[in-house]
Structure 1
Amino acid sequence: MRILIIGAGKLGSLLAKRLSEKGHEIIVIDKDEKKAREVAEEADVASYARDATDPSTYDEVNIANIDVVVAATNRDEVNLFAALIARDYGVPRVIVKVRDSRIAQILSRIGIAEHVIVEPRVIGSIVEGVIEGKYNVVELVPVYVGGFRLVTITIAEGSSVEGQLLDEVKYPRSGVKILAVFDGEEFHDPGEVLRLEAGFQIIALVRDDVIEEFLEAFR
């Protein structure tokens, strides 16, 4: 896929590196010349020191031929603008990170983004789950991806899934997308995890009607 990442901060740089390693063609935009240069040094990407609020920037990177746009700057208004531009050019998939839930609601209501990630809610849920050792369900936006929720569940000591591979756990495959596994220090791709251990946290997108079945599978 040809993926445009707007913002070369920690999230944007990490995505650029991981996605380029998987063979995707990555283009990164950041108005900070130093950040743009650093991400190009760390990953096999095309990087541009450009202002994401300048419409001509998108012509320069040929946005009409982009498959996915990820708006990941630290300014909600810039991410909103980028999403609007992407949708105007007919980009098939638009993913936006925001901090203000009101911006998330606007994006959802006008239907210009496939996924809207409300950063404080996601981080807050993960930390809460680690502290309390239980699952949390986070509603990112009211109509997030047609009734899906971001779910986090921590593997408890004595859980039936301790020592199992993720593929061995009998959770509902339809309506569930496991995004990552957090081992207390690092986030891992689900395919990288050899055996589940107590304290590991599963992070997944789960359809409303199978949330309870999903949670029960990891208890």
Structure 2
Amino acid sequence: MGGVALVSLCMSGAALAAPSAERVAEDLKFNEETTQVGLDVRLGAGGLAGRGGDVTQVGPMVGIAAGAQPWRFLGVEAGVEGQRLPIDDPRIGEGEAMYRYNVGLLAKAGPLLAQDKLRPYVGVGAGVSYLNATNGAENLYRNDFITEVPLAAGLDYRFGNGIFAGARASYRVLFGEEFADAATIDGDSGGNLLNIAATVGGRF
């Protein structure tokens, strides 16, 4: 009798788990016809930490990204960003800066809340930036390619007709920075990048 009860319990548990597993499978199933795609623009500001932050200041950034939502809880985006990081160094003239030009990919995950209008999310990705020193700073600062691992956290609110607005914080782990090696005492340009931005866009 005990064995029969155990088998019955296992079978009922499997029966209850089956609908849940089916719903998860439906959420993860890619459907090209229902995949939402769109564009967003972002405006914000941020700056470098570490040695790179010792010689630069917080600066404005602007970006544009193309995104897709292949699954209910998972999305991807590809984007470009531009940013001006003012140089804070008395050895060079006023108004000099490092300009950052970035391309990157980001995978995002997050649930839909409040009747599918609110989506908090986290993301991780990869990117490459080109840092360009203005002419008046080139005696101490150099142009440089750096690789990035962006970590993001944000919140989007969806209005009608596919329009959404939100906010995002991104912390970019940087590798290969050499743009300020000649300007720092220990020849180290290391540091990561923190940006905070407002976003607005549309999905269709």
Using structure 2 for the length normalisation, give the TM-score: 0.22
Higher relative contact order (CA closer than 8 Å, sequence separation 6+): 2
Larger radius of gyration: 2
Larger helix proportion of the pair: 1
Larger strand proportion of the pair: 2
